[in-house]
């Protein structure tokens, strides 16, 4: 047994901090202790005795470019990191800061800022931007007359409020006196090409404004998976994914289930890739060859016809399999395709916003082409398409438990519609077409907005019906491996107990071992009246309020449009009924929980 050091009273810390450090030290291995020591050494101390704290500059001499990002799933963060690397290569001193770590009062001290932010669903901002947005719209908002800024907005044009968060921040910075030195750019889900164009322009714009001679900012290591501070983990990204192998694809729903849900295991041995519970795995996939053949036949395109992808010639069939999005239909395709084939009926559908959104929601690209076929040129057709983008899946394992593997829980999208059988792009690839042992391209997308509490004694409430169970399998594995004393409560739902109780044996073992303290189940179709997780939450209102009062963190994973909203309403009702708040006060209460990191969502 190794002897771990403890912190005594000679450190200059108060008793509470000493206790917290000793509690942390007792849970760490020698290698982890070495990493933590390296981290704090890396923070360093400046000559004036002030610790270098990431994300909290007291003042800005005008020689630093601040890169601020607001990210829900990690896309804005990855773009910000890419921008940061490019700015450093160009000789700029930079400070890369998440909105969640940013001290709002320091905004008035920033002279040069590039702001990258995503928009979620129907115009919602990322959780980590809530405090900053509230501050900017409060009476405390500072004058920003000394700020020169630019905004990059990420969004999804399939939604009505495309890039709304970026638009709102951009307008507000200007209203407060900031000077926009490059126009806001809005990028869709296939943002890679746009980012490659925007980053050099943004860096050049800032180089023209920032005085030379600022010097490089002190290097500060970032928290990640534990390891030696001197040998950081290999960094893979959506642009530089890891090529590895599919180990396991196992159906975990019953023979008579309405759902085809797969447990996926992917090899990480020797890769250096690391992840934390709450992170997502990005998976690059290929389109179904049969789908591509049908599409080409309907469009009367020769599969060997040459098209250009990034100025490189490729056969159109190969390009459609590997490069372009074919399963996720979006409004712009309908509009543009109607013009390409000069079809007045399709033009009418595209002209009415509401009918267009309804039309898009129930179709894939091939459904449009089947309904309105036409002979077109290969280059003209691919010009209408978005680039293929990787799909993000919540990781369903703790690396502490499974080591050189990463697990996913994937529902295969499969359905009959418009007279034809349909498969989802990535889910069909992983669940049906990719064989065990074959290669797959992956990367980890960090999600700091969906993390276990840092204090292992904190109670945790997890709501994850269907495949929303995935991150909570990782959470409970991690709590078990850490021997965390905090209570854990899981709400899970699916149609049928006998067919759809995902990971049933594991949950029963966690219950028997005392790792999982409570599990409430909602199998909606096992009785006459449908029962969902929000109904179980309402039934347990007294005990849930008790856990919340004890400081519990609440997590929701799964469908955003219905489940997450219904669960939110159930929680709102509990705060009103048990806390004695008005509805408006209860909403503010839950918003504050989100700001405090005690109410986190991973929804889609």
Better pLDDT: 28 or 381: 381
Q: What is the pLDDT of residue 419?
A: 94
- Which one, of 382, 46, 45, lies nearest residue 190 by Cα? 382
Q: Is the pLDDT of residue 598 over 70?
A: yes
Q: How far apart are CA 192 and CA 46, in angstroms?
A: 38
Tokens encoding 33:
């202790």
DSSP symbols for 329-358 = --HHHHHHHHHHHT-HHHHHHHHSHHHHHH
Please report which confidence band the pLDDT of residue 122 belongs to, taking 50, 70 and 90 as the band edges. confident
Q: How far apart are CA 601 and CA 564, in angstroms?
A: 8
CB 467 within 8 A of CB 263: no
Q: What is the DSSP letter of 104?
A: G
- Model pTM score: 0.84
Q: What region, left, alpha or beta, does residue 345 occupy, with left being phi > 0 and alpha being psi -120 to 50 degrees?
A: alpha
Q: Is the pLDDT of residue 116 over 70?
A: yes
Which contacts (CB < 8 Å, 24+ apart) does range 287-293 have? 287/320, 287/321, 287/322, 287/324, 287/326, 287/327, 287/388, 287/425, 287/429, 288/423, 288/425, 288/428, 288/429, 288/433, 289/321, 291/326, 291/327, 291/366, 291/423, 292/317, 292/320, 292/321, 292/326, 293/317
Q: What is the pLDDT of residue 17?
A: 52
What's the mean pLDDT in 457-472?
98
For the stretch 77-89, pLDDT in tens is 999 999 999 999 9
Q: Is the pLDDT of residue 404 over 50?
A: yes
What's the mean pLDDT in 328-339?
95
Cα–Cα distances in angstroms (integers) from residue 3 to residues 11, 27, 29, in the given order: 20, 12, 10
Please report which confidence band the pLDDT of residue 354 belongs to, taking 50, 70 and 90 as the band edges. confident
Span of 1-10, 307-316, 485-494, 513-522 with lowest mean pLDDT: 1-10
Q: Going from the N-terminus, what domains does the chain have, and what CATH number goes with each? A: 9-43 (no CATH), 64-207 (3.40.50.360), 242-285+390-445 (2.40.30.10), 289-382 (1.20.990.10), 460-603 (3.40.50.80)
Q: What is the pLDDT of residue 159?
A: 84
- Which one, of 224, 230, 357, 241, lies nearest residue 278 by Cα? 224
Q: What is the pLDDT of residue 340?
A: 97
Please report which confidence band the pLDDT of residue 1 belongs to, taking 50, 70 and 90 as the band edges. very low
CB 495 within 8 A of CB 528: no
Better pLDDT: 341 or 160: 341
What's the mean pLDDT in 545-558?
98
For the stretch 16-71, pLDDT in tens is 454 455 555 555 544 444 445 544 434 433 333 333 334 444 455 578 999 999 99
Q: How far apart are CA 250 and CA 581, in angstroms?
A: 47
Q: Is the pLDDT of residue 223 over 70?
A: no
Q: Is the pLDDT of residue 323 over 70?
A: yes
Q: What angle is formed at CA 109 by the lines to CA 105 and CA 110, rounded to 5 degrees?
A: 110
> pLDDT > 70: what percent of the chain?
86
Please report which confidence band the pLDDT of residue 11 belongs to, taking 50, 70 and 90 as the band edges. very low
CB 305 within 8 A of CB 378: yes
What's the mean pLDDT in 407-429?
96
DSSP symbols for 364-416 = -HHHHHHHS-----HHHHHTTSPBP-PEEEEB-S-HHHHSSEEEEEEE--EEE
CB 124 within 8 A of CB 158: no
CB 387 within 8 A of CB 323: yes
Cβ-based neighbour number of residue 218 at 10 Å = 12
What's the mean pLDDT in 453-465?
97
Q: What angle is formed at CA 485 by the lines to CA 484 and CA 489, rounded to 5 degrees?
A: 95
Q: Is the pLDDT of residue 170 over 70?
A: yes
Computed over every residue of the chain, the mean pLDDT equals: 88
**Sign of the dihedral defined by the CA atoms of residues 559, 561, 562, 567, in that order:** positive
**Backbone angles phi and psi of 233, in degrees to 5:** -65, 150
């Amino acid at each position: 047994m190794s002897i771990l050091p403890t912190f005594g009273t000679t450190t200059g810390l108060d008793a509470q901090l000493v206790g917290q450090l000793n509690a942390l030290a007792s849970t760490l291995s020698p290698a982890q202790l070495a990493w933590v020591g390296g981290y704090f050494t890396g923070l360093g101390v400046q000559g004036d005795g002030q610790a270098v704290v990431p994300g909290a500059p007291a003042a800005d001499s005008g020689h630093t470019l601040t890169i601020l990002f607001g990210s829900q799933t990690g896309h804005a963060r990855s773009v910000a990191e890419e921008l940061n690397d490019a700015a450093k290569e160009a000789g700029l001193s930079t400070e890369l800061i998440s909105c969640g770590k940013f001290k709002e009062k320091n905004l008035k001290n920033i002279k040069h800022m590039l702001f990258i932010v995503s928009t979620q669903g129907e115009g919602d901002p990322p959780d980590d931007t809530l405090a900053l947005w509230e501050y900017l719209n409060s009476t405390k908002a500072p004058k920003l007359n000394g700020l020169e800024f630019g905004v990059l907005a990420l969004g999804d044009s399939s939604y009505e409020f495309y890039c709304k968060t970026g638009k709102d921040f951009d307008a507000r910075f200007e209203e407060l006196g900031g000077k926009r030195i490059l126009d806001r750019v809005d990028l869709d889900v296939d943002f890679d090409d746009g980012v490659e164009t925007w980053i050099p322009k943004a860096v050049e714009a800032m180089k023209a404004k920032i005085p030379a001679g600022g010097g490089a900012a002190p290097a500060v290591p970032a928290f990640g998976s534990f390891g030696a501070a001197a040998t950081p983990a290999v960094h893979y990204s959506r642009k530089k994914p890891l090529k590895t192998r599919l180990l396991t694809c196992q159906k975990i729903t019953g023979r008579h289930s309405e759902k085809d849900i797969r447990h996926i295991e992917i090899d990480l041995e020797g890769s250096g890739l690391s992840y934390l519970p709450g992170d997502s795995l990005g998976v690059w996939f290929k389109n179904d060859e049969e789908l591509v053949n049908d599409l080409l036949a309907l469009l009367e395109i020769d599969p060997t016809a040459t098209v250009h992808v990034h100025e490189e010639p490729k056969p159109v069939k190969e390009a459609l399999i590997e490069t372009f999005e074919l399963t996720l239909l979006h409004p712009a395709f309908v509009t543009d395709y109607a013009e390409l084939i000069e079809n007045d009926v399709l033009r009418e559908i595209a002209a009415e916003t509401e009918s267009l959104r309804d039309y898009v929601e129930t179709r894939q690209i091939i459904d449009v082409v089947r309904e309105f076929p036409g002979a077109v040129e290969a280059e003209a057709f691919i010009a209408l398409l978005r680039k293929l983008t990787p799909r993000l899946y919540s990781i369903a394992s703790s690396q502490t438990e499974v080591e050189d593997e990463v697990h996913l829980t994937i529902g295969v999208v499969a359905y009959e519609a418009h007279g034809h059988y349909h498969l989802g792009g990535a889910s069909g690839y992983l669940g049906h077409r990719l064989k065990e042992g074959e290669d797959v391209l992956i990367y980890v997308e960090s999600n700091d907005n969906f993390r276990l509490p840092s204090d292992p004694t904190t109670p945790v409430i997890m709501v994850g019906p269907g495949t929303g169970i995935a991150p909570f399998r990782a959470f409970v594995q991690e709590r078990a491996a850490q021997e965390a004393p905090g209570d854990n409560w899981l709400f899970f739902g699916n149609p049928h107990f006998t067919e759809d109780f995902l990971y049933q044996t594991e949950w029963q073992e966690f219950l028997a071992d005392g790792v999982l303290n409570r599990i409430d189940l909602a199998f909606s179709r096992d009785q006459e009246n449908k029962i969902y997780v929000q109904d179980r939450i309402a039934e347990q209102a007294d005990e849930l309020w008790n856990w919340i009062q004890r400081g519990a963190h609440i997590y929701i994973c799964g469908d955003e449009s219905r489940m997450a909203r219904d669960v939110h309403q159930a929680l709102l009702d509990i705060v009103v009924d048990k806390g004695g708040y008005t509805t408006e006060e209860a909403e503010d209460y839950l918003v504050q929980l989100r700001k405090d990191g005690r109410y986190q969502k991973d929804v889609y």
